[in-house]
Amino acid sequence: MKIATWNVNSVRTRITHVCEWLQTNPDVDLLCLQETKVIDSDFPHAPFLELGCQTYIYGQKSYNGVALISRSPLENIQTGFSAILGEIADPSLDEQKRLITAKLGDVQVVNMYVPNGSEVGSEKYEYKLRWLKLLREYLQALLAQNAHVLICGDFNVAIADIDIYDPKGRENKVMATDIERETLDTVLSLGFKDVFRKFEKDGGYYSWWDYRSGGFARNRGWRIDYHFLTEALYDRATACAIDVEPRKQTQPSDHTPVIVTI
């Protein structure tokens, strides 16, 4: 089975890119989208249905939004923290639509769009850290119910210096501070492993490049989109690849797909 993750930076603007990519990659069973940027009633279902895909969405106006595009029907779709955790102490953590989960075969897939954090020390940065702390509780609950859990998406954290084209000064940069890394580490310590690094030990591989200053042409990127797998799934995985082709096209998303084969 192949599961892909892709922050498309607006599913409506990127609809042609996404559908062409699904046609070029017919063996991808499930595509996890982030930053759909559309309310549910305006989601472009038709192009996906025409490709024989099922759509499961969780969106909001202008910002955030996640979706699952699947070749076959999925089961147990749940959106937001509270669907798993019940009432949460800080309801603001469910106001932004960033989290959807479903079962594909024996794998519980979690598709997420972690908050960016804006600037170190800002209100948004604190929100990101609180969001990640609640994510730990959420995943703990899912792990109690499922043997195999795969979490993927835009994590907005480069987990190691090797995942940044130029890590100089990263201690004070959002997406790369020690606090963000440690907070995410605490989540992953529940038993998740970065499957990309099972197959690739070298640097220079990224999933996001700034639109500005020719970031992609100069390969000045960051690896912030991941699949983290529980142990048995990690062992089963046979490949994990970043597909840079969509990033080369005109009017691309600033992120490109990452695909794991299990």
Partner DNA sequence: ATGGCAGTACTATACTGA
Looking at the annotation, which residues are catalytic?
113, 154
Give the other-Cβ count within 10 Å of 122's Cβ.
12
Closest to DNA by CB, 37 or 148: 37
Interaction site with DNA (CB under 7 A): 7, 9-10, 12-13, 35, 37-39, 61-63, 115-116, 118, 124, 154, 156, 174-175, 208, 210-213, 222, 224, 251, 254-255
Closest to DNA by CB, 157 or 237: 157
Least separation in angstroms between CB 108 and DNA: 24
Least separation in angstroms between CB 81 and DNA: 17
Burial of 136 (0-12, 13-18, 19+ CB in 10 A): middle
Buried/exposed 41-69: b ≥16 CB within 10 Å, e otherwise: eebeeeebeeeebbbbbbbbeeebbbbbb
Q: Which two tokens stand for residue 229?
A: 């797998």
DSSP three-state, residue 97: coil
Closest to DNA by CB, 104 or 187: 187
**Residue closest to 184 by CA, chosen among 150, 134, 219:** 134
Amino acid code (one letter) for 101: T
Q: Which two tokens stand for residue 201?
A: 């030990």
Least separation in angstroms between CB 21 and DNA: 16
Closest to DNA by CB, 189 or 251: 251
Least separation in angstroms between CB 135 and DNA: 15
